Amino acid sequence: MSEDSNKKISFSLLNIDASGLKEPGLLLIEKVSSAIGAATYTWTRKWKANADAKAKITLSKADIEISELQERSLQRMLAEECKHQENMESITQKAIPNLDESANPKEIDDDWMANFFNKCRHISNDQMQDLWAKILAGEANRSGSFSRKTISILNDLSQEDALLFRDLCNFSWIVGASYSPIIFDPEETIYKDNGLSFNKLVNLDNIGLISLSSSPGYGRWTNSDSFEVGYDEKLYSLTLSKDGKGEYFLNIGKTLLTQPGEEILKVIETEIVDGFEEYVLNKWKNHTPKAICKISDRFARS
């Protein structure tokens, strides 16, 4: 069979309008079609087995009862698989606008892709589909960006949990080379008024998105007294003093993102929390012993 014929068969597994799409979008459709092809084959075998059994109906009462049960099972399978197909097509369609021009979906690991669609085919909520679509596009943009553990956590994530994690991510600062939610005391007004509490953070810890610490919390140590942090598209240059152990230390609060948390944060659309920038700077400047000597004027991040 020619390569063109194979492409036509692959594309026929997805009802997606490919007209006007650039190469990354076309390659993603082809990759997804290939990934779900094996699942489609497995389901087709089940369908055929049910159909063959139904064809063997005899006039005996027992056989008629069995055939009716098989028919209901077949109808249920058809309804479920149609919904799964619809979900997979929707997530793929939503992923395409998030592809970079340099994206190469061919590089996505086949096992990763199979695992991804085995889980996301059950997702019908529109907002959760958006999140799954961004994960798929992110993996196509850079293979290896999202681990299987992240996909497993995402599979168990409810919409309520996803919204809670987004609320947490709104408090994230750039600290050094990574993002960190700065949560000094989750029971303080600025956190509670914006959807957080200690119990909610415990929930995110149990899910596996964050690591929650009791007092005194987490910190970052550096080899230099100069340290950059950022929030709201701005960077601050901090001048640190040494702590009691002679090391440069910055208190970053009671939460750290786990690897899955860091990966999912990449595709979360965060919002600025009014007053949080000033709140954190004030904490660092006045309430972190021997931590901050000076905070420079803010400057825009390029």
Confidence of residue 40 (pLDDT cuts 50, 70, 90): very low
For residue 138, report the phi and psi dihedrals to the nearest 5 degrees.
-65, -35
Same domain assignment for residues 148 and 215: no
Confidence of residue 180 (pLDDT cuts 50, 70, 90): very high
Same domain assignment for residues 213 and 273: yes
Handedness of CA 30, 31, 34, 38 (dihedral sign): negative
Same domain assignment for residues 150 and 171: no
Tell me: pLDDT of 302 over 70. no
What is the predicted pLDDT for the residue at 147?
97
Same domain assignment for residues 126 and 26: yes
Would you give the DSSP letter of residue 157?
Answer: -
Which of 51-55, 113-117, 143-147, 211-215 shows the lowest per-residue confidence on average (mean pLDDT)?
A: 51-55
pTM across the whole model: 0.80
Helix axes 110-120, 61-95, angle to 10 degrees: 110
H-assigned helices in the chain: 3-11, 23-55, 61-95, 110-120, 126-141, 148-155, 159-169, 189-192, 198-207, 259-265, 276-286
> Do 95 and 16 contact (CB within 8 A), yes or no?
no
Chain centroid, CA 110 distance in Å: 19
CA distances to 57, 199, 210 from 206, in Å: 52, 11, 8
What is the domain extent for residue 281? 160-300
Same domain assignment for residues 144 and 7: yes
Same domain assignment for residues 147 and 90: yes
Tell me: pLDDT of 44 over 80. no
| Mean of pLDDT values over 128-155 | 97
Which of 9-23, 169-183, 230-244 shows the lowest per-residue confidence on average (mean pLDDT)?
A: 9-23
Residue type present at position 239: T
What is the predicted pLDDT for the residue at 64?
54
Same domain assignment for residues 178 and 144: no
CA distances to 102, 123, 153, 229 from 139, in Å: 12, 18, 16, 27
Same domain assignment for residues 109 and 215: no
Tell me: pLDDT of 151 over 90. yes
Residue 294, strand partner residues: 239
Q: What is the mean pLDDT of the chain?
A: 82
pLDDT digits (tens, 9 = 90+) for 77-96: 777 878 888 999 999 999 99
Same domain assignment for residues 198 and 261: yes
Same domain assignment for residues 107 and 229: no
Same domain assignment for residues 8 and 144: yes
Confidence of residue 300 (pLDDT cuts 50, 70, 90): very low
Number of domains in the chain: 2
pLDDT digits (tens, 9 = 90+) for 195-215: 999 999 999 999 999 999 877
